[in-house]
Amino acid sequence: MATAAASVIAPMMLQGRVAIVTGGAGGIGSAVSRHLASLGARVAVAYVGDPAPARELVASINAAAHGGDRDARAVAVEADVSDAAQVRALFDAAAAAFGGELHVLVTAAAVMDTSYPPLADTSEATYDAAFGTNARGTFLCLREAARRLARDGRGRIVTFSSSGVGSLRPGYAAYAASKAAVETMTRILARELRGTGITANAVAPGSTATPMFYGGKTAEEAERYIAEAPLGRLGMPEDIAPLVGFLASDAGGWVNAQVLRCNGGTV
């Protein structure tokens, strides 16, 4: 009988699974898309705006497909997650591309005002943008996943919160509040999905070396984050992706309704 440890390290443990990754071509999302594909999943890389990064990522994933697999391992799908019709179309496109059944949803799409205004100076536009993508976008994807993911024990939902919910840094009010909403929706949905075999968990990264993190920061400000880190460095997208892969797999099937802070000990 295979042990849980053996299943964790199995190189193709997501073979036969179909995954949707929103924000799948940027920052942490691109590392997640690559990692899930490396574990055997077929990945719909959802993006908004410039298609070039998503297309380049998909081409790279397909070129590196395991075992000389000639079928597409990944496809790029444009979708604004704050729009319900586009979210439905995203799920339709992923199902059509890979044979109809959907197994994994990862919601990595996010926006943040990198001018870091204090709450007293936060505009309605900043608040609406944060909640429109981070909270509403996740809500729409969760709703679709609850209706459409496989109910055979392989359905997995992994949302993205932020360790900023716990660190309470000034300047992050709208962003952190939108991510707190993500945590709450994820944990409630996990309970509502009782009996379906679908798990739902949130991953909450800390400061991670992505364009979003560096946006609006001086080199000195970025260094202060590093100085505060117990491990003496920023996280990398590749530090986050394996946790998502674990939660998406059978090995993570007993983890449910949790928020996992993946931050090197900063929170």
The pLDDT of residue 50 is 97
Q: Tell me the pLDDT tens digit for each residue of 50-95.
A: 999 999 999 999 998 755 556 789 999 999 999 999 999 999 999 9
Q: Tell me the pLDDT tens digit for each residue of 28-55.
A: 999 999 999 999 999 999 999 999 999 9
The pLDDT of residue 81 is 98
Give the containing element (helix H, strand E) for 80.
none
Q: May I ask the CATH class of domain 13-262?
A: alpha beta
Has residue 22 got a pLDDT over 80?
A: yes
Has residue 174 got a pLDDT over 90?
A: yes
Has residue 5 got a pLDDT over 80?
A: no
Q: What is the mean pLDDT of the chain?
A: 93
The predicted model scores a pTM of 0.93
Tell me if residue 175 is catalytic: yes
Q: What is the mean pLDDT of residues 186-208?
A: 97
47, 175, 214, 225: the active-site residue: 175
Taking Cα atoms as reference points, which of 139, 155, 146 lies closest to residue 102?
Answer: 155
Task: Give the separation between CA 176 and CA 122, rounded to whole angstroms.
Answer: 13
Task: Give the separation between CA 53 and CA 143, rounded to whole angstroms.
Answer: 27
Phi and psi angles of residue 52, each rounded to the nearest 5 degrees, phi first:
-60, -50
Dihedral over Cα of 149, 144, 44, 75: its sign: positive
For residue 45, the cross-strand partners are 21, 76
Q: What is the mean pLDDT of residues 224-244?
A: 94
Q: What does each C-alpha distance from 116 to 34, 119, 163, 217, 245 come to in angstroms?
A: 30, 9, 16, 9, 31
Q: What is the mean pLDDT of residues 112-121?
A: 96
Length of the chain: 267
Q: What does each C-alpha distance from 108 to 1, 24, 54, 191, 227 come to in angstroms?
A: 35, 7, 14, 22, 27
The pLDDT of residue 100 is 87
Look up tokens 């908004």; give the residue.
Answer: 48
Residues 77 and 70 sit within 8 Å (Cβ to Cβ): no
